[in-house]
C-alpha cells in the first residue's frame, strides 16, 4: 500500500484484486480501518497532517467527545434555567393580566352606573 500525498487517500495494491482469501480479506479490513483512522484524525484537527498513531487519534477523539458532551450539558442546564425563568415570568404576567381584567371590569361597571345616573338626571 502507498499513500497518495496529494489527496491523502490510500491506494490499494492490486495483489488482492479479485481474491477472496482470508489474508486478503483481512488486509482489506485493515486498510479500511486505517482509512477511517486517517479520516478521524483529519476531522479532529483539520488543516494539519493526519496523525498516524492510533492511540493518539483515539485519545484526541475521546477528549473531543468529552469536551462536546460537557459543553452540551452546560448549554442544556442553561436552557433549562432560562425555560424556568420564562415560565415564572409567564405565570406572573398571567396573574397581572387577570388583575387588570378585573380592574377593567370594575371600571366598566362604575362607568355604566354613572352613565345611568347621568341619563336619569337629564
Q: What is the DSSP string of 45-93?
A: STTSPPP--HHHHHHHHHHHHHHHHHHHHHHHHHHHHHHHHHHHHHHHH
pLDDT of the chain, 122 residues: tens digit per residue? 444 444 444 455 556 766 789 999 999 999 999 999 999 999 998 888 888 899 999 999 999 999 999 999 999 999 999 999 999 999 999 999 999 999 999 999 999 999 888 888 87
Q: What's the pLDDT score for residue 14?
A: 53
Amino acid at each position: 500500500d502507498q499513500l497518495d500525498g496529494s489527496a491523502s487517500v490510500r491506494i490499494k495494491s492490486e495483489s488482492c484484486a479479485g481474491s477472496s482469501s482470508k489474508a486478503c480479506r483481512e488486509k482489506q479490513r485493515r486498510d479500511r480501518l486505517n482509512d477511517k483512522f486517517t479520516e478521524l484524525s483529519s476531522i479532529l484537527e483539520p488543516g494539519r497532517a493526519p496523525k498516524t498513531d492510533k492511540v493518539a487519534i483515539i485519545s484526541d477523539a475521546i477528549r473531543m467527545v468529552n469536551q462536546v458532551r460537557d459543553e452540551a450539558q452546560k448549554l442544556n442546564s442553561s436552557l433549562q434555567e432560562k425555560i424556568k425563568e420564562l415560565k415564572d415570568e409567564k405565570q406572573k404576567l398571567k396573574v397581572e393580566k387577570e388583575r387588570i381584567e378585573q380592574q377593567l371590569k370594575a371600571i366598566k361597571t362604575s362607568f355604566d352606573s354613572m352613565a345611568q345616573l347621568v341619563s336619569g338626571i337629564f
